Amino acid sequence: MVSDQYISSVAPSPVLYFLFVFFVCVWFLRVYLLYRETLKRNKEWIGPRTLIGDETVFSQIFRPIPGISLGYDYPWLSKHNDYPSDGCDAYFMVSAFPVGYSSLWLSDAAAIKEIASSRLRFPKPVKLYKVLLIFGPNIVASEFDSWKRYRRMVASAFSDRNHEYVWYSASKLGVDLLDNVFKNEKEVVLDDVTEITLPLALYMIAIAGFGREVTFQHDGVVPHGHKMSFKAAIDIIAKDIFLKLLLPTFAFTLHPRLRKLQLAFEEIEEYIKEMIRERQTSTQEEGRPDLLNNLLEANGDSEIKGEKPLTDEELIANVFIFLLGGHEASSQALAFALAALSIHPDEQKALYQQIKQVMPNGELPRYEDIHLLAYSLAVINETLRMYPPVNASPKYCAEDTVITVTNASGSKKLVPVPKNTKIFLHITGVHYNPRYWKDPHVFNPSRFLADYPREAFIPFSSGSRSCIGRKFFETEAVAILSLIISRYKVSIKEDPRYAHETFEEKKQRIFTANIKLTLTAANQIPLVFTRR
Ligand code: HEM
Ligand SMILES: *[C@@H]1O[C@H](CO)[C@@H](O)[C@H](O)[C@H]1NC(C)=O
Ligand SMILES: *[C@@H]1O[C@H](CO)[C@@H](O)[C@H](O)[C@H]1NC(C)=O
């Protein structure tokens, strides 16, 4: 039993109680006043207001809750809708929490270019990329001098010779798909397009990134000393990496799925270490120009040049980033491209006509002649415009500054931006900005075959921190798309459940998407491939 005396000694005295309520009220008042002040400071430039701001964990986890949070899909769902139609392509999003928080959103191509090309004034807020530090410091999750060192080294891995190797490897892999998975059958039905695009993107990075000999027929072998195949390990990581972000380390012993994820990480690390060891001890003079070989070569040369070479941990971490970067975005982009061609048969016909002309015998041209397949690249570009895998690129302001934007009648306006303000280069916002794109909601690849506003097309971001894998992706995508379309016509699988849907409803069903690691289709995309 607890004595009365004890209870009365812990019960708050009325004075303490009053003080507590008083301080809570003062705190809320302060939050409110700061919120008002932020609104006033940015008065000309106010966009959406919320209770809880975009940088909180809360907003990263939940869907939109009106008045409270805009949800993690905001950069995708809002497209260009929140920019005033007769004003400037810039607004501050203001929230009560974090206290005094506001972030600047931009869909003005010139302003974006200015920011992306002034890295020191507008660095990357690397703490948003913490999950990518799983294997150690790397090019994506670093800034300033360490980033510079990684970027220089990694850039020499993405060489012309590598891209040529991507082309011929993608060609072999595409033929492997058609001969051994589709088996050249009259009709091939897939319940979901990612059944092929995920392995395609994954194998491409395994082959041209790591020099592994993977094919559709021969995969999933578990080598001596391993508990999991290379492919299985990457599949698991790609699917579940977000759990690593959400859960503490000890959780990974608790559930079979988590233990498997943990094992996958250990296995991948072991595979990468083995590959590095193998290359370092090999006496071969000229290796294959895969990314890993190129990186190791550049690393060897750095010592000669008197630069600090990457440690094994840094090598592994950067190579892991290729795996991740090369996998998700590429597979989703290919999936959306095939889906878009399925619901736009006229576009597919135009594409096929060019392919047939360039590849009369069904074989890809030489790498030097890749430009002949311009329509394929235009389809890829238009897909990336409408469904950009990365929807916004975050920066922050290292100093108080002003950013120049242009209003609807062409006059320049200055947006004052205080030091440390978060800035979002709103990729989806620019891509749907009617100032740059006529009928932005219409899939029209040929807009890329004429003059188009290059600064308003930024799926790979722009400036010094733009995607280093752009050409790697373009090359594999053009090869694989051209090969598939050269032999097969692709369409959406008929389904009695959707017999009466309109074109818009179908578009809605197929292209509803969420932001995961990258933009991901929310529903399965069922496709039928019919032999030409
Ligand atoms: C459709 C395919 C792809 C898209 C849309 C894409 C998009 C992007 C974007 C937008 C960034 C900048 C991120 C930011 O500013 O926050 C980026 C960076 C990067 N990407 Fe990609 N990417 C793709 C494919 C690839 C591939 C295939 C690789 C490697 C094989 C790769 C490797 C990287 C790396 C290493 C960076 C960091 C560059 C740096 O910080 O200096 N990406 N990517
Ligand atoms: C596609 O976009 C890239 C930039 O990402 C550009 O270099 C290329 O010229 C474009 N090509 C076509 C055919 O659309
Ligand atoms: C753009 O700015 C100029 C100069 O301030 C102003 O005269 C004009 O009305 C503005 N146009 C629009 C559409 O807001």
Neighbours of 442 (CB within 10 A): 11
117's CB contacts (< 8 A; 6+ apart) are: 462, 463, 464
Q: What does the pLDDT look like over 399-454, one tens digit per residue?
A: 999 999 999 899 999 999 999 999 999 999 999 999 999 999 999 999 999 999 99
Residue 364 dihedral angles phi and psi, to the nearest 5°? -65, 145
Residue 101 — pLDDT band, cuts 50, 70, 90?
A: confident
Q: How far apart are the first and last CA of the chain?
A: 85
Instruction: Indicate which residue's Cα is closest to atom 14 of ligand 2.
Output: 378
> What does the alpha-carbon distance between residue 520 and residue 391 come to, in Å, rounded to a whole number?
11
Task: Check: CB of residue 244 under 8 Å from CB of residue 261.
Answer: yes
Residue 469 Cβ < 6 Å to ligand 1: yes
Domain boundaries, the chain: 42-130+394-458, 137-390+464-531
Q: β-strands 102-106, 422-426: how paired?
A: parallel
Q: What does the pLDDT look like over 480-523, one tens digit per residue?
A: 999 999 999 999 999 999 999 999 999 999 999 999 888 999 99
84-93, 202-211, 314-323, 467-476: range with highest mean pLDDT: 467-476
Where on the phi/psi map is residue 507: left (φ > 0), alpha (ψ -120 to 50), or beta?
alpha
Q: Which ligand is nearest to the CA of 200?
A: 1
Residue 443 Cβ < 6 Å to ligand 1: no
Ordered alpha helix ranges (H), 256-373: 256-281, 291-304, 312-325, 328-343, 345-358
157-161, 240-244, 275-279: range with highest mean pLDDT: 157-161
Query: Among 115, 457, 467, which is best to mutate for testing ligand 1, by the most ligand atoms less than 8 A from CB?
Result: 467
Residue 87 Cβ < 6 Å to ligand 3: yes
- Dihedral of the alpha carbons of 328, 334, 335, 338, in degrees to the nearest 10: 180
Short-list 530, 79, 78, CA closest to 341 = 530
CB-hemisphere CA count at 13 Å for 252?
18
Q: Which ligand is nearest to the CA of 125?
A: 1
Task: Check: CB of residue 515 under 8 Å from CB of residue 76.
Answer: yes
Span from the CA of 407 to the centroid of ligand 3 (angstroms): 6
Token output for 146: 């360490």
Span from the CA of 106 to the centroid of ligand 3 (angstroms): 18
CATH no. for 137-390+464-531:
1.10.630.10
Q: What does the pLDDT look like over 334-391, one tens digit per residue?
A: 999 999 999 999 999 999 999 999 999 999 999 999 999 999 999 999 999 999 999 9
Residue 221 — pLDDT band, cuts 50, 70, 90?
A: confident
Residue 377 Cβ < 6 Å to ligand 2: yes
Task: Check: CB of residue 456 under 8 Å from CB of residue 109.
Answer: yes
Short-list 115, 145, 140, 108, CA closest to 127 = 140
Q: What does the pLDDT look like over 260-289, one tens digit per residue?
A: 999 999 998 898 888 888 887 776 656 789
Q: State the chain's mean pLDDT as an integer.
A: 91
Q: Helices 470-487 and 160-176: crossing angle, nearest 10°?
A: 30
Span from the CA of 385 to the centroid of ligand 1 (angstroms): 15
**What is the structure's pLDDT at 295?**
92
Place of tokens 């971001």: 461
**What is the structure's pLDDT at 1?**
46
Residue 35 Cβ < 6 Å to ligand 2: no
Neighbours of 61 (CB within 10 A): 11
For the ranges 97-106, 251-260, 274-283, the lowest mean pLDDT is seen at 274-283
Task: Check: CB of residue 42 under 8 Å from CB of residue 403.
Answer: no
Q: Give how far Cα 273 sits from Cα of 105, 314, 474, Å.
A: 41, 11, 29
Mean pLDDT value across residues 108-114: 98
> What does the alpha-carbon distance between residue 352 and residue 249 come to, in Å, rounded to a whole number?
51
Provide the 8-state DSSP code for 254. T
Span from the CA of 454 to the centroid of ligand 2 (angstroms): 8
Which has more pLDDT, 184 or 59?
184
- Tell me if 467 is assigned to a ligand binding site: yes
The string of DSSP codes covering 466-482 is S-TTHHHHHHHHHHHHH
**What is the structure's pLDDT at 504?**
94
Amino acid, res. 191: D
Which has more pLDDT, 46 or 303?
46
Span from the CA of 412 to the centroid of ligand 1 (angstroms): 32
Mean pLDDT value across residues 188-214: 91
Q: Which helix (H) or strand (E) holds 431?
A: helix 427-431
Span from the CA of 411 to the centroid of ligand 3 (angstroms): 6
**What is the structure's pLDDT at 2?**
47
**What is the structure's pLDDT at 4?**
53
